[in-house]
Amino acid sequence: MNQKKTEIIKKAIHLFATEGFHPTSIQDICTVSGISKGAFYLHFDSKDQLLVEIYEYYYDSLHEQVQQVKEQAETPYESFLLQLEAHYETIFKHRDFIIMQLQEQELSTNPAIRSFVTEMKEVRYEWIKKNFTLLYGDEIEPYVYDLSILLEGMNKAYLQTILHLELEINPKDLAVWILDRLNDHKESLLIKRVPPFITSDILQEKHEEKHNQELEHVIESVAEVISGLKASEEKVAEWLEALDVLKAEAKKDEPRAIIIQGMLKTLEDAPDLEFYCKRLEQLTIR
């Protein structure tokens, strides 16, 4: 991502956090960024696309920070601690982005944003699960989902409080506190040997259900976008037919990747579908 595009994203995040996403116009973004509308459209097709790229920018920054520190650790505990610290440090660095999310709950109704956030939740769970296994060993496997929920609950509650009250908190201190509390829960579960509350069987069934719902939602969103494109009737019909073929193939017990990839290649020719095509690929080729 070039420097100018990054600058526009940073200015837009601050505007969305202070003024709100919907009240902020493209002209407002251009004014604070010191660019013309023409220059804006060189980087983004619309305000919605800018919003998607804001999310991608934040999560890319978070992933980069976490990857950098995990290689420095000598033990699983130190690795997870450093990753949590990097996670909180990135959040505090991008306070405006988090505030924007908290203030603009309706952003979740944006199909591209909702799809992207769903994808990031899946990635985050796998990250947590991997770290738990390395840190606590196989004996914690039955409680991985419960501990993940406890971790996410603590993260959300503490971070909302810190950001709302504008507290100056050392990321390392927060990471140590959270991980210590997580260890307390782990010890209690292993000592008492209570049955797990959320099991892998329950989540697997729900995950499959959510996956199918997400796929259906993305396909509907793509059809809506295609129908609104200013293109020839032949092109629109071609793209919609490719989408129908992809949908039918994805519903099969053993979808053929070559068919899905061929349909995605056709859809990639349509404007404004780059993000959706990426998500469709992730949802259909497993």
Residue 107 half-sphere exposure, CB side, CA atoms within 13 Å?
25
Residue type, 117: V
Assigned token pair, 146: 């419960």
> According to the model, what pLDDT value does residue 244 have?
95
Q: Judge contact between 40 and 8, C-beta under 8 A.
A: yes
Of the two residues 82 and 51, the one the predictor is more confident about is: 82
Flag whether pLDDT at 207 surpasses 80.
no
Cβ atoms within 10 Å of 246's Cβ, excluding its own: 26
> According to the model, what pLDDT value does residue 103 have?
62
Assigned token pair, 222: 């793509």
Domain ranges across the chain: 48-192, 200-284
Q: What is the mean pLDDT of residues 198-203?
A: 78
Considering only 33-42, 43-52, 183-192, 215-224, which range has the smallest mean pLDDT? Answer: 43-52
CA distances (Å), origin 88, targets 76, 212, 255: 18, 33, 40
Pick the closest to residue 89 from 57, 64, 112 (CA basis).
Answer: 64
Q: Judge contact between 281 and 264, C-beta under 8 A.
A: yes
Does this model's pTM top 0.85? My answer is: no
CA distance 171 to 84: 8
Q: What is the mean pLDDT of residues 251-271?
A: 91
> According to the model, what pLDDT value does residue 81 have?
94
